[in-house]
Each structure stands twice: as C-alpha cells, then as structure tokens.
Structure 1
Amino acid sequence: MKIWKQIVWSLVLAGGAFLGWAWFYPGAGDTLARYGIDWFSVSSTGQQAGDARSGGGAPRRGGFSREALVVVAPVGQGVVNDRLTAIGTGQAVRTVSIRPLVAGQIAEIPVTSGARVDAGDVIIRLDSAEEELSVERARLAAMDAEQKATRLGSLAEQRAISSVEADAARTELQTARVALKEAELALSRRTVTAPISGSLGILSVNVGDYITNQTDITTIDDRSEILVEFHVPERFAAAMTVRKPIEATAIARPGETFEGSVTAVDNRVDESSRTLRVRALVPNQSDHLRAGMSFEVEIQFQGETYPTIDPLAVQWDSTGPYVWRVVDGKAERVEVAIIQRNADRVLVEAEIAEGDEVITEGVQSVRQGAAVRIAGAEPNAEQQGGGGERPGSGGAGS
C-alpha cells in the first residue's frame, strides 16, 4: 500500500475515534468548550430543537450535552467517640496473704488447696504443747490469787489484818489474770485462721514444716465480685465517672458479657502513657471468673455527630479535600475536613447536612456552578431542551 493511502486511512481512523469520543463521552462537550470548540454543542442544540418540533421527549444522549453526567450519593450522619474499648486485668474484690504471727512447727493442716473457707475457719495449727502448759500454769496461779484475795478480804472486813494486805492480794489477783490472758493469747496464735471468706490458693507448706512469721502459707481470694483495672486515653478523662456502666468480656470466655460499673477513677493522668487508670466492679455469682484474667471492657459515651459521605466523593487539590454538592441541578464546591475515614464512609466536618447529594462519579467533568445531570434521574425542562409542550407551539411545526 502506498504511503499516501496509509496517511489517508490513519487520518480517517483518527477522525472516527475523535467523533466517537465527542459523541459518546459525557464530558466531551465541556472539554472541547474549554479549548474554544463549541460547534459540537451548537449541533446538539439544533438537534434538540428538531426533536422538540417533531414531538420528541428527551435529547439524544451523548457527549454533545453541556450538562455533565454524574452519579450522586446522599450525605448521612455518623457518630465518633461514642464508645471505648480497653483491655484490663481482673482482680479479686478482696485478697489476703496468710502468714503466721509466731514461729513454730506445723502440726495439722485441716484444709486443702483451692477449698472454700469462711472467716474464722482453721487453716493450720502449730505445735502448741508448751503454750498449753503455760495456760494451765497461769490458770492455776489465777485461781490461787483469787482465793487469797477472797480470804484476806474477809479478814480485812473483820479488822483482823490491815487494808494494805487486802489491797496487795487484789493486785496479785489482777496480775495473775493478765498473765492468764497472755498465755491464752500465745496459745491462740498457734492456730492460723481465715480472716475473710473466700477460696484458698495452693498451700505452700506441709505438716512438719517449721515456719516463721515471714512464711507465706497461701492466699485467700474473695471473688464474689471481680475488680477489672484498665486504662483509658486522656481525652475520655472528663467522661469517666464513678457508677458509669460498663460491659466486660473475658478473653477466656468469648461470647459471655458481664455487666458492671466503674468504682474508682484515678486523680491524675499518667505522664508516660497519657492514660487514666480506672477500676470497675463486675459481679461473679457464677464463679466463672478468676483473678488475673484479661478482660475487654466496653464503655458507651454520648459521642460527637458528623456528616458522613461516600469515600469516592472526596476530592483533593492544593488547598486540601473538598466535595461537589448538587444544589438545584448545579455543582457547588464545599471544603471539608476529614474527621475519621472508614472502609465505607468518611466522617467530615463541613457545611453540608444529612440528605444533601454529593457527586461520587463523573467529577472530572464538573465545574463550579455548572449544570449537571444525575444518572438515572428524570430530565427536567431545561435538559429536555424545550421538549415539553408549550402553548402555541403546536401550530409552528405544521
């Protein structure tokens, strides 16, 4: 094929591609108009007028329309900072570490590890033979002193002895009684009892062991309620108040939610982590929870309300993000500030309201104040190019 034929065919194909783009691409008319080429829109106007005279309804769809074809989505409403989720650690509402008050050899352990005990139940007994003898000796001394005081008191009443001797006997009686109480106290300390009701931990001693007052025997946990301690960001510090309801989920028991309330809020924010320490109390009637468990704590707040838009509606330029809002069939640029970006919606701060329509597709052909045509919407009178019947128009076409 000769070179001039190849050039002609290339020009024909290029011209056909240009005409196809100008006819079918929705924003072609605006693009050409920016370069001063308006004869496509004039041709379209003549075609629309011919359609109107012939009774046609809407103009032919194509790139010759001056209205940009766009897709819109309504503005919604979203809430942020309305809930807080934190990870906390559970503690028994009361925990006691058991140590003896005196040293000695363990003679008996009437309880087992993990058993449930009530306040006053015996946990261990130390060898107390010497203390029992001391109590018996003190008891006998007290009885002898009481008899002597009674006898001398009778003689003093008969004036057989002086009152000084009777007073000395009464003093000896009081001293003997005090000695008896000391001996009984020493004997009672040879028995270690539970100070609170709860569940025993693992016993770290055995019968025959010699222990001192520094020996940890076991712990007792009152887990009728669980204290969950967690930390919240400082922006929630003002909203954290005592008795605020919470929901806690044990990581070890997924699917079960336990309701509780805040019992204590720290008086200062930790400088290193910028968090506030909080404690909440969770009932544990079923006894499924244990001290040391990890919990996911959720707290509800009033939150802050912002408009939400489709992520495709957000556009960017050198000044920042903005959206195109459709008002009375025309595009209006609205500056926005992004508050939170989610997978399906973007929360923004802007002068838009719930129910407004913003452009999500076709933004490349949109200009400030220019008319737009919403895809799928019924065309209005201006878009129909006078296709509606007006008074007196019927005779003009005949």
Structure 2
Amino acid sequence: MTYWIRLGAICFGLLIVSLIGWAVFLPASHPMLERAGLLAPMRAVGLPIPEASNGAGGGGPPFGRGGEIQVVAQEVANADADSRLVAIGTARPLRGVTLTSEVAGTLENVAVSSGDWVEAGSLIAELTVEAQQLALARAELALRDAQARVDRVAQLRDSGSATQVQIDEAELALNRATLDLRDAEFELRRRQITAPISGWIGLIALEPGNQVTTSTELARLDDRSKLLIDFDVPERFVGLVGVGDALQANPLSRPGEMLQGQVRATDARVDQGNRSLRIQGEIENEDDRLRPGMAFRVSVELPGEPLPLVDPLAIQWDRDGAFVWALDDESKAQRVRVEIVQRRDDAVLVRADLQAGRIVVIEGVQNLRPGAEVSPREIVPAPQGEIVEDATIQASGSAEQSETSPDI
C-alpha cells in the first residue's frame, strides 16, 4: 500500500512540474491552461509565467534585428458592406376587377370567350331585357305626349286662353316624362355588363340561361402588362427601402430566371400584429409570360456600411471572441477586438477600431504578445474581397429561411 501511495505522489509531482514547465517555456499553452483554470493559480504563487499568446506551436519566437519578431503583415482596407434584403412575395395584376351584374336576372348572351383581350367599355355579357325595353317604349311615348301637351298650351297662351297654372302643369309633366325616359334607359344599361378596364378575360364559368345575382362572379378581368409583388419586411428595415429602389424578382417556379423591377410603394404604417412593413414591387410583363398569383423571391440591395476589410488569416480567437494583432505607431503588437460582419472570397469585413492603412499581422501570430516589438518582413497588398452569394438578409418567407449576416 505504501508503494502505491509513493508512486502516486511521484506521478503527481511529475505532472505539476510538467505543467509548470509547459506554462513557463511554452506560451502557446496559455489558452489551454487558462480554460482549465490553472494559469491564474500558477501566477498567484509567483511563478515566472509570461503573458499568454495566441495560436499553437512551440519553441522560442523568431527574432529579427534587436529582438523584433518577424511577421508577415497587411494593410487594412475599407469597403462597403454589401447586403441584400430577400423576401418571398406574391404577384397580382397592375389592375384587376371581378365582373358581376348590377342586378339579378337571366344571362342572355356572353359576348367574349375565356382568355380574350378586351378594351375598356367593350360588352362582356347581357341579361334579358324585354321588360326594360317595354318600359323604355312607354317612357318614350309618355315623353312625346307630354311634349305635345306643352306645344298646345303654348299656342293657347299666345291667344290668351291658357292660364299660368296650365302652363306650369304641362311643363312639369314634360320634365317628369324626361326623367322617366332616362330611368328606363338606365335600367336597360344595367342589364349590360361592360369592361371597366382593358385587360385579359379569365375563365368564364357561366352560360346563357344561367340565373345570376349581384354577387355572382361572371369572370375576372386583369391588366397584367405589369405585375405588382407584395412582400413583408421586418420593421427594422423601415427607411432602408424606398420608392424607386431597384429590385430583382425570381419566380420560384423558374429558378434560373431573374427579372428587374423597382419598388412601387411602401405601406403607410407598420403592422402591429407581426411588426412588419408591407412593400409593393413592380416588374414588367410585356411578353405576358407571367401570371398573377405566382410566388417570387424578391431581393433589394441595401445601402452598405463602410467597414474595415482584413485577410481571414488575421482573425484570431480566444475565450473572449475574435481579435486581430495590429501594430501601433511604434510597431508594437496590440490586440484589437473585432466583430465579423460579412465574409467575402478572400477577405472579411469586420466592425472594429481599425482605420484604413493600419497594419495587421497575418503570419507569425503564434509568437506575438501585447506590446511585443514587431518587424514585418513582408507587407502584402490590402485585400479586395468580392461579395459571396449568401450575404443576404432573409426578411420573410418559408420556415426554412433564416436571417444571416449582415445584421442591420
């Protein structure tokens, strides 16, 4: 039993010595020891442990003239954060009406066929009008009789045989007959269904002989020379999207087709129920290949925020998050915290206290510590990253869509 206790004590002592040697002679081990909660106690007992450095690797750092650390560095550039607002919207015609009858009756004639183009004012259908034609004939007869009476009274007035009362009664009867004629003509016109706008007739389901009421839908008439696309965006985009902004619309049924359009209107208020703003876009449909009701993926370019642009190799990580090693005016290394905003092909846009032209380290970071003197053996050109396709903001749509960077 004593043997095993002695052996355990020896192993424990060797472990402690190894950890101390690891911490003192290998600064790259500091992040791991710090995560294990061992680094602070070691420093508390007075061990000569240098400040932790980032990165992996061992051995002593390479030095240049006068003990300066040799690194490869790069200048920071500025670029605008490109972002797109992406939403799913539904198309509707530029103008569209549902054709119904103003009165109930029997459908006598349908003057158009499904799918026809009609001009505004064209006859679409008409109801039976026998009763209204009879009423019109009676009104015309009554008008002629009233006009003849007025003429007779006028002759009597010239001879002094008609009183003023007779004259007034005759003129009143004439006015009443005129109104009755206009009413008969109006009732006749109400049995005729005409096109209020120019457009394409939809499917007609009714046939002559069908009974119709004021709520019976005869057909739909759509002007689809342009399509309007309604889509919703979260309220944080209020003020970022305005009338006249360019947009791109991609029919979900045709993934490879991209159409150009513009924002036509924005709603006057935010919906309090879902905290979203309704946007209306407009696209051309001169070749009439698209139809109202189709679903579109709409994207709108948003104004970019100028941000520092750095090489991905410059981004380092520790328990507090991302940072870069930047050089100050005395060529000493300083940790600068960064927030990654957008990734590009060969660069990363970050939000940080970095000005254009400042030097950041991209190679040799494992040998750095705050305040270390640095001698760049090479300074590579500033990055010129191109935007990648997934730098979008999903505003609304299906459950599979989610918000990605940048976050505005």
Quick check: TM above 0.5? yes
Displacement of 1:318: 4.3
Q: Partners of 2:311 and 2:130 in 1: how far apart? A: 85
Other-structure match for 2:188: 187
What CA distance in whole angstroms lies between the structure 2 residues aligned with 1:64 and 1:308? 28
CA deviation digits over 1:210-269, x for unaligned, max 9? 011111111111122222212233332123333333333333445544443333222322
Residue 103 of structure 1 deviates from its aligned partner by 0.9
Matches within 5 A, 1:127-146: 127-146=128-147
Pair 1:174-2:175 in alignment: yes
- Name 1:353's counterpart in structure 2: 355
Specify the SS of the correspondent of 1:93.
strand
Give matches, 1:38-187, under 5 Å: 65-66=62-63, 70-80=71-81, 82-187=83-188
Q: How far apart, in 1, do the equivalents of 2:252 and 2:324 lie?
A: 43
Superposed CA offset, 1:313-355 (max 9, x none): 2223344432112568955123223141526543222232345
**1:293-372 mapped onto 2 (5 Å cutoff):** 293-326=294-327, 332-342=333-343, 344-372=346-374
Q: How does 1:28-47 map to 2 (within 5 A)?
A: none
Gaps of 5+ in 1: 1-27, 37-61, 378-398
Shift of residue 89, structure 1, vs aligned partner = 1.8
Q: Give the distance between the partners of 1:86 and 1:227, measured in 2 at CA.
A: 14
AA at the equivalent of 1:115: D
Summarize the Cα distance change of 1:249–1:173 in structure 2 as closer, same or farther, 3 Å threshold. Answer: same
Q: Which moved more, 1:317-326 or 1:68-77?
A: 68-77
Give, as a single letter, the amino acid of the residue that structure 2 aligns with 1:122. Answer: L
Q: Distance in 2 between matches of 1:177 and 1:305?
A: 75
Residue identity opposite 1:261 in structure 2: Q
Aligned to 2:404: none
Q: Structure 1 residues 92 and 201 mapped into 2: Cα distance closer, same or farther (>3 Å)?
A: same
Matches of 1:376 and 1:179, distance apart in 2: 99
Letter in 2 for 1:174: N
Three-state SS of the structure 1 residue aligned to 2:217 is coil
Go from structure 1 to structure 2 and tell me whether the alpha carbon gap of 1:328 and 1:185 turns closer, same or farther (over 3 Å shift). Answer: closer
Distance 1:313 1:169, change over 3 A: same
Runs of 4+ in 1 over 6 A off after TM superposition: 28-31
Aligned length: 325
The verdict on how the C-alpha distance between 1:309 and 1:164 changes in structure 2, with shifts beyond 3 A counting, is same
Identical residues among aligned pairs (%): 37
C-alpha separation in 1, matches of 2:97 and 2:175: 37
Kindly tell me: are residues 81 and 201 of structure 1, through their superposed partners in 2, closer, same or farther at Cα, counting changes over 3 Å? same
Is the contact between residue 152 and residue 165 of structure 1 (CA under 8 Å) also seen in structure 2? yes
**CA–CA distance in 1 between the matches of 2:79 and 2:257?**
28
RMSD, aligned CA:
3.2
Q: How far apart, in 2, do the equivalents of 1:29 and 1:99 lie?
A: 86
Change (3 A) 1:376 1:159: closer
Q: Retained in 2: the 8 A contact 1:98–1:220?
A: yes
Structure 2 CA distance for aligned equivalents of residues 327 and 145 of structure 1: 105
2:76–2:309 CA contact under 8 A, matched in 1:
yes
1:247–1:29: structure 2 CA closer, same or farther, 3 Å change rule?
closer
Structure 2 gap segments, 5+ residues each: 1-24, 29-46, 49-58, 380-408
Rounded Cα–Cα distance in structure 2 between residues aligned with 1:108 and 1:64: 96
Deviation at 1:118, TM superposition (A): 0.9
User: What is the DSSP-based 3-state SS (H/G/I as helix, E as strand, rest coil) of the residue aligned with 2:370?
Assistant: coil
TM superposition shift of 1:209: 0.3
3-state DSSP of counterpart to 1:288: coil
